[in-house]
Amino acid sequence: MCEKSKADMLKDELFYSPEHTSYACSEQEIKTADEFCGDYMEFLNKCKTEREAAAFIKELAEKEGYVPFDPSAKYKAGDKVYSDIHSKALILCTFGRQGLENGAKIVASHIDSPRLDLKPNPLYEDSELALFKTHYYGGIKKYQWTAIPLSLHGVVFRRDGSSVTVRLGDGEGEPRFVVTDLLPHLDKKQASKPLEDAILGENLNILVGSRPFGQDKGSEMVKLNIMKLINEKYGITEADFLSAELEAVPAFPAVDIGFDRSMIGAYGHDDRVCAYPSVMAAFAAKAPEFTAVTVVTDKEEIGSDGNTGLNSAYLKHFIADIAATQGLKGRDVLRASECLSADVNAGFDPTYPSVHDKMNAAFLNRGIVVTKYTGARGKSGTNDANAEYAAKIQRLFDVEKVAWQTGELGKVDEGGGGTVAKYIANLGVQVIDVGVPVLSMHAPFEVVAKLDVYAAFKGFKAFLES
């Protein structure tokens, strides 16, 4: 074996050169990561909307001993509480050995994903086909949502105040739904349009039926038949749609990708691929030094507005409430607190290299991405983490042997995006973005690497226990 040259040794010492995580992983660790991802895939299949994710995580948390937070109670180190934010977001909290005057460790991710919401008055018939009108939620490339199997999820409140949960199209043998597209033989005009105009939002109509009611002839007989079937199944009438939350999401289950099964293809990695590891990390961090707060929020995909999004006051109020149990002010706790904004970043895609600066892009299998800032153009609309805090988190990951890399969301002036980081930073908390790199982000079928998912779990756990 030849010795390393002096130059190579100096390079090792001086250069930043991230590499594939598996070089530093034992076989056992890779096996552990794959097993963790098996559970994550089950979670993905069970939870396709923020409501489903919030309900599932709440149930898991209750089994782990979390109880509803009581502002009038006194808590001691290790006590576990949760706060349910209108069934669409959730805060888990484990009280630390140190008092809240020394701050909390917050991990915040989101559990909503881009999808097609039904319009308030969705059902119509045209040319003896029944369809649902939709209004898309979040940033989608519309053409990706045509000609794929969809399932329907949500909740409908009936006139009498009772409600019914809808989940149809994911189970074996259940019907699916679909947005149709033009055949290539007749799409000359469509095909010559810019991609973003080729499919209009108003054309994302979902096919839901084609047989008329009985033998009676008349208008809207297919619609009548479909409404009758919906009424029989869910006990609702057309007017009940007006208040309902019904969401069409891709009907495919999470699957392994590649001959080596090293990746996962699924709907909604963004951002359940951070939410799930953060919740598992919260469960694993049993006796944290500082109070551990894990937030899974709604509405990130539409700008975090609304009373279940992090641009609302719910986190600020929760911190104030737990502060009050120790005779403290919320703002003093926030000032002393630290947060990982746990959200995905774009993985470098060799098919589309031109949108990335390769030196500052995140790569699959190189661990979690520490993103100092997101935003667009001149860092507009972002939390730009300060050097002190960025260095502290990077040091922590090094010490705890968490695979991590840096990553910017694409080239300067190529586009941009944001996360919940800025809303938490606006409360005075130290925040940095940390998350899993994703290919085909916001597509109905996104791809992540299993080793990165496990790195997220390790990273969040190390943070909560630090």
- Binding interface with Mn ion (CB under 5 A): 270-271, 343
Whole-number minimum distance, CB 113 to Mn ion, in Å?
A: 7
How many alpha carbons fall within 13 Å on the CB side of residue 448?
Answer: 35
CA 435 from chain centre, in angstroms, equals: 10
Q: What is the 3-state secondary structure (H, E, C) of 398-430?
A: HHCCCCEEECCCCCCCCCEECCCHHHHHCCCCE
Whole-number minimum distance, CB 270 to Mn ion, in Å?
A: 4
Count other Cβ atoms within 10 Å, centred on residue 101: 14
Closest CA to 43 of 278, 343, 334: 278
Nearest to Mn ion of 79, 343 (CB atom)? 343
CA 256 from chain centre, in angstroms, equals: 19
Whole-number minimum distance, CB 201 to Mn ion, in Å?
A: 18
Whole-number minimum distance, CB 140 to Mn ion, in Å?
A: 10
Rounded to whole angstroms, what are the CA distances from 105 to 100, 134, 217, 363?
A: 10, 39, 65, 27
Q: What span, in angstroms and rounded, lies between the C-alpha atoms of 109 and 295?
A: 6
Nearest to Mn ion of 114, 209 (CB atom)? 114
Whole-number minimum distance, CB 438 to Mn ion, in Å?
A: 9
Nearest to Mn ion of 99, 381 (CB atom)? 381
Q: What span, in angstroms and rounded, lies between the C-alpha atoms of 106 and 431?
A: 9
Nearest to Mn ion of 71, 201 (CB atom)? 201
Whole-number minimum distance, CB 367 to Mn ion, in Å?
A: 18
Q: What span, in angstroms and rounded, lies between the C-alpha atoms of 431 and 388?
A: 11
The answer to whether the bond into 298 is cis (omega within 30° of 0) is no
Nearest to Mn ion of 240, 271 (CB atom)? 271
| Pairing verdict, β 430-435 and 368-371 | antiparallel
The residue at minimum Cβ distance from Mn ion is: 271
Nearest to Mn ion of 240, 433 (CB atom)? 433
Whole-number minimum distance, CB 407 to Mn ion, in Å?
A: 14
